[in-house]
């Protein structure tokens, strides 16, 4: 299922891009559904190309799991690995997310673009989420693809507002920093 989200950040593109790329863990106080973001790896000038950065971050979501579903949804299920390549030359981020549960059944990847619009930035996310429930115990074989489609639709509906929330977090972070990065 396609993922599509757009937002405007009231700061110039270079500033918005660098805030998102270089200060992601510092954005957490401005992201209501995120408990923490941990940078596991960061590499600059990937492939000898200045302006290309590779990051591996682990996100941990906030969320109280209701008692009746705690047997199914464990706290580690509210975390995911974020593998991203940031290209300051093209003003894009190519990303791939790996869930900490059903890792072999969930594919999620896409590209963010940062388009300069005067002193603002149009932030666009385009991606794809695919969930394969075939062979999963408890899911009838004949229903696996239709149930998978419903699960994808449900997750994308939950995910899209949170994707836009990150752009609001970038804006709030930059406002708190007086529109300047260290």
How much is the pLDDT for 74?
A: 67
Is 151's pLDDT higher than 90?
no
- CA nearest 86: which of 67, 113, 65? 113
- CA nearest 16: which of 126, 148, 112? 112
If you average pLDDT over residues 58-69, what whole number do you get? 72
H-run or E-run covering 112: strand 106-117
pLDDT tens figures, 18-45:
999 999 999 999 998 889 999 999 999 9
How much is the pLDDT for 54?
A: 98
Rounded to an integer, what distance in angstroms lies between the CA atom of residue 138 and that of residue 94? 34
| Sign, Cα dihedral of 97, 35, 40, 12 | positive
- CA nearest 119: which of 20, 27, 9? 9
**Token digits for 63?**
């969320």
pLDDT tens figures, 77-110:
778 899 999 999 999 999 999 988 778 888 999 9
If you average pLDDT over residues 52-64, what whole number do you get? 90
- CA nearest 14: which of 126, 179, 164, 169? 179
């Amino acid at each position: 299922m396609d993922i599509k989200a757009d937002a405007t950040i009231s700061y110039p593109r270079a500033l918005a891009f660098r805030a998102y790329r270089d200060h992601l863990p510092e954005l957490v106080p401005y992201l209501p559904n995120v408990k923490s973001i941990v940078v596991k790896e960061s590499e600059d000038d990937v492939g000898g190309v200045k302006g290309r950065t590779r990051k591996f971050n682990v996100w941990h979501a906030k969320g109280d799991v209701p008692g009746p579903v705690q047997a199914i949804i464990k706290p580690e299920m509210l975390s995911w690995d974020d593998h991203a390549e940031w290209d300051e030359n093209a003003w894009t981020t190519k990303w791939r997310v790996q869930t900490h549960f059903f890792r072999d059944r969930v594919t999620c990847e896409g590209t963010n673009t940062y388009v300069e619009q005067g002193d603002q930035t149009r932030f666009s996310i385009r991606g794809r989420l695919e969930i394969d429930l075939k062979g999963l115990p408890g899911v009838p074989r004949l229903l696996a693809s239709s149930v998978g489609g419903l699960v994808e639709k449900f997750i994308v509906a939950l995910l899209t507002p949170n994707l836009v929330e990150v752009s609001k977090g970038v804006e709030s972070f930059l406002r708190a920093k007086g529109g300047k990065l260290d």
